[in-house]
Chains A and B, each alone.
Chain A
Amino acid sequence: MIRFILNDRAVQTDLPSGSTVLDFVRYHKRLTGTKIGCREGDCGACTVLVGDLENGKLVYRSMTSCLMPLGNAAGKHIVSVEGVNMEKLSPVQQAMVDTNGTQCGFCTIGFVMSLTGFVLNENAKQYEQAIAAIDGNICRCTGYKSIERAAAILSDKMTDKPQADTIDWLAANGYIPAYFTTIKAKLEALNASAPIADTGTAGSKLLVGGGTDLVVQKALAVKQSAIQHVYDTNELNRIYLEEGRCHVGGAVTVTAFAESALIQELFPRLPEYIRLVSSTPIRNMATMAGNIVNASPIGDMSIFFLALNSDLILNRNGERRTIKLRDLYKGYKQLDRSPDEIVEQIVFMVPKGADFNFEKVCKRTYLDIASVNSACLVKISNDVIEEIHLAAGGVAPYPRYLAETCAFLKGKMISANRLREAIAIMNSEIAPISDARGTADYKKRLLRQLFLAHFGSRKEIIKQVLSH
């Protein structure tokens, strides 16, 4: 039995916990405002808002309901467009009407939900934040300009939004129905009465985090499997420092990682990197461990952590072992991990005095999968490379740590010649293939460019390397 709140009503269901929130909302509750565009989290037409208690606070995040396992809804508030409709149009809906931000209407509900998510975020007031909120919504009709105008109208209205009691203010001003003010208490009550979902124990069950990869790859299998949900497991959701090492829980979402004050301090340019990783609703669901064990050759977070020379702590029913992340990958989708081992933590040394950079190029800069991505941690003193860790995706059957290139560069004086030699070594470490994301030749060339981009402040050296 899975129990949660759907719009203004408490609901419970015996449906498989691996079936999707989308199918539950559309076909079991016949709330047809939520649309099906792609069933792979790439269009946003099925976006719903998910309200959850985070440190005692009710926080709403947008998620693509097509990838959200029903089990992950347990104990939460799921909001579809029907749940924000009121007697009058909300200012979000009105802005979309006034700017003609809707043409065929099919994607519109997703935009309305994402923008309502922006409005519900107590810290969101800027136009850029409104646009970021809809970075996972695809529209084929408008060319987005009218939607940008709607976002501008809305962000202007957010100036007066208080940071405390935001939901009360929003309800009083007609942004959301009044029932929202009762949700926090209801969720507290719901979560106090266990169990809200049978998440089972480890064993032969399928481990499911945010669902953003598994449900895309094999929706039917997930629906038909016994599942152990780890998305909401508290001990897997922590980020902390200990003895100079940073510990990131396996179920930490990309969003939680990006919002962590601790991580932001370590990586000043973090927002730039994270913006390149999928989209807001997917980042709200996707977990670190999921990105790592999915072993996609172009996993953004895998590349990120490889360049931090990270360790993994694997846990199998309390039996723990630590391995280097780079030793996890053995071949295409082959891992040094048994299916019932949970990625408990990713652990890396806090980079001190080193520069970190993440690069990613795809056909579409945002909301796309990389042709090639690369991250690099490099410590240079007096033009000598003291330490370097370099990783690249899209150039091998799995996320690649470029060990030989690193070994070559370590201790060398940085110069165009050294970088040229490093590139030659790097080319011998990779074996890109031609596919929909680019030809092998292109990927090889692109990696050279991204490698050079890691040394972006040394323009003259880059020029010399390229003018050769």
Chain B
Amino acid sequence: MNNDPAKKRSSISPLGAEGGNIDAANHVTGRSIYVDDIPVMEGLLYVKVFDSPVAHGKIRKIDVTEAEQLDGIVKIFSHKDIPGENQIGGIIPDEPFLADDIVDFRGQPILLIAAEHEDAAEEAIKKIRVEIDPLPVITDPREAFKQGKLLSASRKFVKGDVNEAFKNCTYIFEGSAETGGQEQLYLETQGAYAYPAEHNSVKIFSSTQGPTAVQRTVARVLGVQMNQVEVDVPRLGGGFGGKEDQASAWATMAAMVAYLLKRPAKCIPHRMEDMRMTGKRNPYTTDYKIGLDSKQNILAYQAVFYQNGGAAADLSPAILERTLFHATNSYAIPHVHVTAHSCKTNLPPNTAFRGFGGPQGMFVIEAAIDHAAKELGIEPLQIQRQNMLKNGDEFPYGQIVTECQATHCWDEALDQFNIESVRKEIDYFNLENTFYKKGFSLMPVCFGISFTNTMMNQARALVHVYSDGSVGVSTGAVEMGQGVNTKMLQVAAHAFGISASRIKLESTNTSRVANTSPSAASSTADLNGKALQDACNQVKERLFDFIKKELTDNEDEIIEIKDEVVYINDEASVFNWENLIRQAFMKRINLSAKGHYATPIINFDKSIEKGHPFAYHVYGTALTVVTVDCLRGTYTIDSVKAMHDFGSSMNRVVDLGQCEGGIVQGIGWMTMEEVIYNTEGKLLSNALSTYKIPDIYSVPKELEVRFLPTDGNSYAILKSKAVGEPPLMYGIGAYFAIRNAVLAFNPSAKIPYSAPITPEKVLMSLYQNDQ
């Protein structure tokens, strides 16, 4: 049963934009290796967590005597056993690794159990006795705000003068809107495997989007230098932001046991433990105020965002910032005043999830526009179109709009998807049917590309050309399904002019590429790809110098490598890739290089909240049509059609997959995915049986993504625009389409702008008048 995926790889065109994912053949045969698939060493210990059974309280007593006596239990660790600092907070040091005297959320790790067998650890957990004096529990961000419980300083983006502008508005509408949490639900749970190494070091295989974050956190908790911690990431079974910051705790658990007991250790939570202990997309509740003139121009927009951060800052301050960056979505509004508070509650620290606060911001402006349109008796699309961004406009954060594709996408969408006939068909259907109603919506998206923390927009790559002509590529990019390895392979093949079959993408490893930014913010391919180009070009320059010395004395020759053959002034030379490398090696040419990239032009001054934070923006518009079963309160998504600005896509197969997957994830957030905590901070939607993500039957019957021809952007890798996050926000359209269908059945329904719009909310709105 020999199925060499490398053979398969050679059939994929290295440079073609239609090439598929290089990992696909390994995936379908089960040969891809995730953390739990790595062959383990002798003497493996299993690490389990004893976590807080209450959401807030003071630990009075912990009794592990009985648990420790159980067969198979090696040791039970508490915060007292931590060799370094009891701290895993990334942005703000406010999160203990293991609870000390206070527990701040249900699911907070208190003890680590190291056992010979997983079953023994589970038995031990049942025997641990803890007494906790309860303290008041807050789960509502507005309540937290009232009590002054904030995780970080509040932020405010201001443009113009809203107070003055509201005076000039013909119409002003105010209301509130809220969006719920969302469980990342990567199919592979969190996890890590670690073993002790020489010189008091530890090597960790981690399922993380942020290898350096893991390295830094482990070093801090163990009290060692970063160079004593090696983190290797083979690949992830999904991340979606959930493993950007929160993979660190699990890696630290495995690492601490390995480091202290000098034995290999594995820490992989079961699904319910993962769901209970990790944070999710931040829920938001927001007050908005929108003002328009008599011609439906939006003159002023004001919003106050209350972010539910959970018990520790985690990435919430950065997420909060991106909410403000995208508070006005694709619209040009002259006067803007948006404030955001990161509220501390007794829930697991909420964290990154695809879109990173952007979707939460966009939902509110769309709700405000919908509110205005409904009150004015017009369709929201009139207001949407009329206020769309164009070149020369200024974002509330000071960046000037350039290379704008907003109206281009919008107009093409309406035209190509034939909005007029869609509307007619819906009207006819609704007239004909009593217990089925259809609705539609249009959702524009404008999403900024770059980490909003300018410092993080840097990357490095390491390239080795081996003496047989094969190439090893290491970057800081983590492959988690987004296809970044495929793109990196394309970049290297493109740079060298060689077959992709010669190139291997190595695991992401902190000893090979240091100080990496996490694979996040849709920027992974751009940053690492540009660094990789730099590395490849360095090797190429040395090779070209060598060729010039060997073959010609003329410095002005134009040399290039095409299809593995060296051309000099467009003529094939004696060199092909293999003999070129062999001879260069004999002449002691350096065939390795480290590339570096830092995005130019970007800057942001937090003291004035102005600057040019994004390398570029990605645009698009999606049309969503739904049908609601008005007897049962259920719905189906008939179609989502998106006109998307990919730039010049370097891999249409991968990019289409990102787009389709993102849209469905966004729809899930808006419809069936409901994270429910009770008032005691207990997660009720705590398993796949109670937390539902889209299955194959619930996705849009028709999902069409059109590639809008645009020039791309030179800061995008090979002019192929970032694609990870923007499509998710098309999913917001599902909320408004369903809402519109409900209104077709019950025009007088007062439906709060509250997502997800579950079948429960639909049914209760359909029959609101009964109450």
Question: Which residues in A have some Cβ–Cβ distance to B below 8 Å?
Answer: 30-40, 42-43, 45, 80-82, 85-89, 92-93, 96-98, 100, 102-109, 112, 131, 134-135, 137-148, 177, 216, 220, 223, 359, 361-369, 371, 435-439, 441-442, 445-446, 449-450, 452-453, 459, 462-463, 466
Contact = CB atoms under 8 A, between A and B. Distances in A.
B20 interface: yes
The A interface is mostly helix, strand or loop, or mixed, namely loop
A148 B279 CA distance: 32
Contacts of A466: 767
Given A86-B1, A138-B688, A141-B661, A446 B30 contact: no
B689 A363 contact: no
Given A107-B237, A147-B696, 16 more contacts: A38-B271, A42-B687, A43-B187, A80-B30, A96-B28, A97-B28, A102-B24, A104-B480, A105-B237, A131-B697, A138-B688, A220-B119, A220-B123, A359-B632, A361-B759, A371-B760
B1 A38 contact: no
B703 A445 contact: no
Given A143-B660, A146-B660, A442-B763, A105 B27 contact: yes
B674 A103 contact: no
B694 interface: yes
B3 A145 contact: no
B439 interface: no
B688 A104 contact: no
A141 B657 contact: yes
B481 A141 contact: yes
Contacts of A445: 763-764, 767, 770
Contacts of A42: 687-689
Contact of B187 (A138, A437, A446, A463): A138
The 10 A-B residue pairs whose C-beta atoms are closest, nearest first, are A33-B30, A104-B481, A106-B237, A105-B27, A143-B664, A42-B688, A103-B481, A81-B30, A93-B28, A143-B660
A362 B480 CA distance: 31
Interface in B673-688: 674, 676, 684-685, 687-688
B3 A144 contact: no
A101 B440 CA distance: 28
Contacts of B689: 40, 42, 216, 369
A146 B657 contact: yes
B563 to A, nearest CB: 25
Contact of B665 (A45, A140, A462): A140
A454 B674 CA distance: 29
Contacts of A98: 20
Contacts of B690: 369, 436-437
A173 B758 CA distance: 46
Interface string B635-676: 000000000000000000110110011111100000010101
- Which of A135, A364, A439, A449 has the most chain B CB atoms inside 10 A of its CB? A364
B426 interface: no
Most buried by B among A32, A81, A177, A369: A32
Contact of A89 (B8, B123, B238): B8
Contacts of B297: none
Nearest to A134: B696
A106 B3 contact: no
A106 B23 CA distance: 12
Q: Which of B39, B236, B759 has the most CB of A within 10 A?
A: B759
A40 B632 contact: no
B482 A103 contact: yes
Contacts of A31: 30
Nearest to B657: A100
B80 to A, nearest CB: 29
A34 B275 CA distance: 22
B657 A142 contact: yes
Q: Most chain-B CB neighbours within 10 Å: which of A42, A43, A103, A449?
A: A103
Contacts of A442: 760, 763-764
Contacts of B691: 436
Contact of B238 (A34, A82, A106): A106
21 contacts: A40-B687, A85-B29, A89-B28, A92-B28, A96-B28, A102-B27, A104-B236, A105-B235, A107-B187, A109-B30, A135-B696, A143-B664, A143-B694, A145-B703, A216-B689, A223-B119, A363-B758, A364-B694, A365-B634, A367-B697, A369-B689
B696 A361 contact: no
A459 B630 CA distance: 13
Given A32-B37, A85-B30, A366 B695 contact: yes
B599 interface: no
Query: Of residues A140, A223, A452, which shows the largest number of chain B Cβ atoms within 10 Å of its Cβ?
Result: A140
A395 to B, nearest CB: 14
B481 A100 contact: no
A32 to B, nearest CB: 4
B481 A82 contact: no
Contact of B20 (A88, A100, A364, A450): A100
A364 B185 contact: no
B95 interface: no
Interface string B480-496: 11110000000000000
A392 to B, nearest CB: 14
Contacts of A80: 30
A281 to B, nearest CB: 13
Contacts of A147: 696
B437 to A, nearest CB: 14
Nearest to B653: A100
B412 interface: no
B25 interface: yes
Nearest to A43: B688
Contacts of B271: 37-40
B30 A89 contact: no
Given A39-B270, A363-B674, A86 B238 contact: no
B562 interface: no
Nearest to B486: A100
Nearest to A37: B187
Contacts of B434: 459, 463
A251 B511 CA distance: 56
B692 A364 contact: yes
A435 B684 contact: yes
A51 to B, nearest CB: 19
Nearest to A452: B631
A220 B122 contact: yes
A140 B270 CA distance: 18
B485 to A, nearest CB: 11
Nearest to A216: B689
Nearest to B12: A97
Nearest to A368: B692
A439 B488 CA distance: 49
B578 interface: no
B287 interface: no
A105 B688 contact: no
Interface in B271-314: 271
B3 A89 contact: yes
A138 B689 CA distance: 12
A90 B691 CA distance: 34
A103 B661 contact: yes
Contacts of B185: 140
Contacts of B36: 32, 36
B693 interface: yes
A144 B664 contact: yes
B29 A363 contact: no
Interface string B575-611: 0000000000000000000000000000000000000
A143 B695 CA distance: 8
A31 to B, nearest CB: 8
A439 B764 CA distance: 11
A142 B705 CA distance: 13
B5 to A, nearest CB: 10
B261 interface: no
Contacts of B656: 100, 146
B70 to A, nearest CB: 13
Interface string B1-15: 111000010000000
A32 B688 contact: no
